[in-house]
Amino acid sequence: MSPLYSWNSALSGRVVPGALWLVMSVGWLAIESEMNAWAEAPPAPKSTKAAGDAERGRAVFNGKGVCHYCHGIDGNKDQRPQLTADTVALIAQLNPPPADLRNPKTLYLTSDKQRARAIREGHPGTGMFSDTTMTDQELTDTLAYLALLRGEGSLKK
């Protein structure tokens, strides 16, 4: 028998006439299509970017990230941690000197993408070296903290 004339039902093993087979096939496709429409994944959120936590970023800035060595504790250039004399001498020789992260008028990296790249890869033409030890979340948190220093961000409540 031609497959267009009959269909062998998997459930009953009976032969179904062609016209009924066509109706059943079309009906099954409609049901399957409707079920797929119901089963579709919900729309993706507009942004999947992880939110930065400025307070955690502060801890990275003043700790693991060692940003405070050159930029000062909490971004205060005149408040550096206790460093060895050699390290202090090296920082003093940097030309250009480390940026004042609290003064947006003196900063020329204008996007978080540029800032993230400078942190990850270093900043050519300056003494800033690369930091590949930060996790992606720590980097995101640090960027949130830098925004706070510039007066553009806020602490989570």
* Domain residue ranges in the chain: 6-39, 54-149
Phi, psi of 17 (to 5 degrees): -55, 155
pLDDT at position 125, please? 85
The per-residue pLDDT for 54 is 95
Instruction: Find out if CATH 1.10.3470 is the number for domain 54-149.
Output: no
Contact 50, 156 (CB under 8 A): no
d(CA 4, CA 15): 12
Q: Would the pLDDT of 33 be above 60?
A: no
Q: Which segments of the chain are extended strands (E)?
A: 6-8, 15-17
- DSSP three-state, residue 47: coil
Segment 55-69 mean pLDDT: 95
- The better pLDDT of the pair 117, 8 is held by 117
Q: What is the mean pLDDT of the chain?
A: 78
pTM of the predicted model over 0.75:
no
Q: Which pLDDT value is given to residue 49?
A: 52
Which one has a higher pLDDT value, 42 or 140?
140
